[in-house]
A and B are shown apart, each in its own frame.
Chain A
């Protein structure tokens, strides 16, 4: 009895098992058909993908970024009077350059579009376009060598000279929205930015030592501006060292060329920048430049000098505060030698790539409508950097 029950039970189990297996097998077959179909789809997609990618040039797109700089501005001088300002002894009425932050009210200062690409094994190319409401300018466009031996590098095209500290930097990377007074007086707000060629050498040491020479066209009208031929030569030595959490950068520069008054100009520059890290996100930067110029005008040689000194305290990733004092302390015999300007700023960066900055300056360097006037100016600027990750330079 027991045995037969056992037998029946075993049988049922076997039958059940058999039907289960059949069931599963049919299911498997169905699934196999689905899988095969999907596989064919994948093959098809892969093939078409291959076709497009083998001709695609996407990987060779240059690095693109764009910067938008705009501001709201208050100035206690009427626009029409301000446009003709001059700095006595340095340049005349009508020669003022005001490329940005020009009008009371709102300004769209510029859109800077930059492109960078490696061009073969030997050259890199960089282009900076400045698109302004009424102009399209090639800010810079140059090639640099990639593979010269002995830490040498050549740059050719139109570029910002490495004379001095602030000259090579673009407006949006300055610590303040206005140019230092001495640069406005001697080189103009756009600085030395000229077609030419540059050779630089970096010493293979743990401390920084760089020296370079440049041959430039000499278009800069404030100090040079001879138009018959290329006539400007620049040379500099820069050295940097690190002492625990402080980094110091020294530099001496000279620019020598023909000016628009049938004479020669020699411009000397001295710079000192220190940066002390307090913690991962806060630091104090102290930046100073002194410019001295000998400007030949016929038989006379005019000797002029000015400087600026600025301190920027970066309190956190978001906030920074700065103070700058600039003065022109040596001028022509007839010109005033107490021209100066004080600027303070506070900035807020809600994110790495966006910056709001409020700046106030009190300026005693300008002649407005025939009389020397103190000018007060407040600028609230918004700067946005979009596109490839902007990297910080020292």
Chain B
């Protein structure tokens, strides 16, 4: 009798295990959002580590196995994954997450992207869909969460109530955070900065910080010394005091500009885990406020 009870419990336990939705996400920030909405209903695996340039994730063979058993794939979109994901996705040939299917979620669809450009590679590694680094504006997090909630509800209608509830809770939590955060950032308004890549443009626009130029002359091209001197003169003329550097590009150019102009190099993580302190979405942005508005 006891044996049977244990067995039933075990079977029940196993069935709940297998009923979990396997979600593959391309970057760490998406994992946190999916977990906030899916809670214990989802099992999330991140394909691209925050250690590296999000444009150039190493297409490890192990990622194919993870894609082949995923029920849902959440990508940043806007061309950010174009350099590494397509062959993996083709190779996994998993109909559940094929582009266009219910399990394929491109969160850029929830965002009105900036810098939609005419597609010519003469301008470097540009994305005709627009600047894909929208996740760094904290006001874009809720629309992304909403899109993920809608898809989870469609994929798993039996639990749609709990997804709805989770989204509501998360939205409230995030709006409270934004209220505090926007207040903190208000002191930063009007600052002038130089960035390595057009990585923080959404954030800078939101908080009225002016980007005077980029260290790379065009996306995907390293700067020449002649270009750096031009940028240096521009920085001096405009009175730029901050250089925003990501964690993965070379730092020599930023250091050079800093010593010559007296500006300070500030390293800003581009995703959760890019620096140790940024271990959650809130911490990621708090890190920005701390490092920028000091």
CB within 8 Å of A: which B177-224 residues: 220-222
Give 29 CB contacts A-B under 8 Å.
A121-B95, A148-B93, A151-B69, A151-B92, A202-B68, A202-B91, A205-B65, A208-B62, A208-B64, A210-B64, A241-B62, A242-B60, A242-B62, A245-B51, A247-B58, A277-B58, A280-B51, A280-B52, A280-B56, A281-B56, A316-B250, A318-B222, A351-B124, A389-B83, A391-B83, A391-B85, A391-B86, A391-B87, A392-B87
Known pairs A205-B65, A209-B65, A353-B121; A394 contacts B58 (CB<8 A):
yes
Report which of B66, B87, B90, B222 forms a contact with A317, defined as CB distance below 8 A: B222
Known pairs A206-B66, A389-B83; A238 contacts B61 (CB<8 A):
yes
Q: Is B98 an interface residue (CB 8 A)?
A: yes
Q: Which residues of B contact A275 (CB under 8 A)?
A: 58
Judging by beta carbons under 8 Å apart, are A202 and B62 in contact?
no
Q: Is B125 an interface residue (CB 8 A)?
A: yes
Judging by beta carbons under 8 Å apart, are A391 and B82 in contact?
yes
What residues of chain B have their CB less than 8 Å away from a CB belonging to chain A? 45, 51-53, 56, 58-62, 64-66, 68-69, 79, 82-87, 90-95, 98, 121, 124-125, 220-222, 247-250
Instruction: Say how far B223's CB is from chain A's closest CB, in angstroms.
Output: 12
Q: Which of B59, B61, B248 has the most CB of A within 10 A?
A: B61
| Cβ-closest 7 pairs across A and B | A280-B248, A204-B69, A240-B61, A147-B95, A208-B61, A151-B68, A389-B82
Q: How many residues of A contact B (CB 8 A)?
A: 44
Q: Which of B83, B90, B248 has the most CB of A within 10 A?
A: B90
Known pairs A151-B69, A318-B222, A389-B83; A247 contacts B62 (CB<8 A):
yes
Q: Which of A124, A203, A391, A392 has the most CB of B within 10 A?
A: A391
B interface footprint on A92-135 (CB within 8 Å = 1, 0 otherwise): 00000000000000000000000000000100100000000000
A124 to B92, CA, bound (A): 13
Q: Which residues of B contact A350 (CB under 8 A)?
A: 221
Judging by beta carbons under 8 Å apart, are A204 and B65 in contact?
yes
A249 to B64, CA, bound (A): 13
Judging by beta carbons under 8 Å apart, are B53 and A281 in contact?
yes
Q: Which residues of A contact B62 (CB under 8 A)?
A: 206-208, 240-242, 247
Report which of B56, B65, B92 forms a contact with A206, defined as CB distance below 8 A: B65
Judging by beta carbons under 8 Å apart, are B65 and A202 in contact?
yes
A57 to B214, CA, bound (A): 39
Q: Which residues of B contact A208 (CB under 8 A)?
A: 60-62, 64-65
A283 to B58, CA, bound (A): 10
A335 to B61, CA, bound (A): 39
A261 to B19, CA, bound (A): 57
What residues of chain A have their CB less than 8 Å away from a CB belonging to chain B? 121, 124, 144-148, 151, 153, 202-210, 238, 240-242, 245, 247, 249, 275, 277, 279-281, 283, 316-318, 350-353, 386, 389, 391-394
A277 to B49, CA, bound (A): 12
Q: Which residues of A contact B79 (CB under 8 A)?
A: 389
Judging by beta carbons under 8 Å apart, are A247 and B93 in contact?
no
Instruction: Say how far B141's CB is from chain A's closest CB, in angstroms.
Output: 25
A207 to B196, CA, bound (A): 35
Q: Which residues of A contact B59 (CB under 8 A)?
A: 391-394
Known pairs A247-B60, A280-B248; A393 contacts B95 (CB<8 A):
no
Q: Which residues of B contact A389 (CB under 8 A)?
A: 79, 82-83
Known pairs A208-B62, A394-B58; A202 contacts B95 (CB<8 A):
no
A316 to B253, CA, bound (A): 14
Q: Which residues of A contact B98 (CB under 8 A)?
A: 146-147
Instruction: Say how far B184's CB is from chain A's closest CB, in angstroms.
Output: 30
Instruction: Say how far A112's CB is from chain B's closest CB, in angstroms.
Output: 16
A204 to B79, CA, bound (A): 27
A124 to B95, CA, bound (A): 12
Judging by beta carbons under 8 Å apart, are A247 and B61 in contact?
yes
Q: Which residues of A contact B82 (CB under 8 A)?
A: 389, 391
Report which of B52, B65, B84, B222 forms a contact with A391, defined as CB distance below 8 A: B84
Judging by beta carbons under 8 Å apart, are A352 and B220 in contact?
yes
Judging by beta carbons under 8 Å apart, are B64 and A202 in contact?
yes
B59 closest partner in A (C-beta): A394
Instruction: Say how far A199's CB is from chain B's closest CB, in angstroms.
Output: 12
Judging by beta carbons under 8 Å apart, are A202 and B125 in contact?
no
Known pairs A247-B58, A391-B85, A393-B87; A351 contacts B65 (CB<8 A):
no
Judging by beta carbons under 8 Å apart, are B221 and A351 in contact?
yes
B92 closest partner in A (C-beta): A202
B82 closest partner in A (C-beta): A389
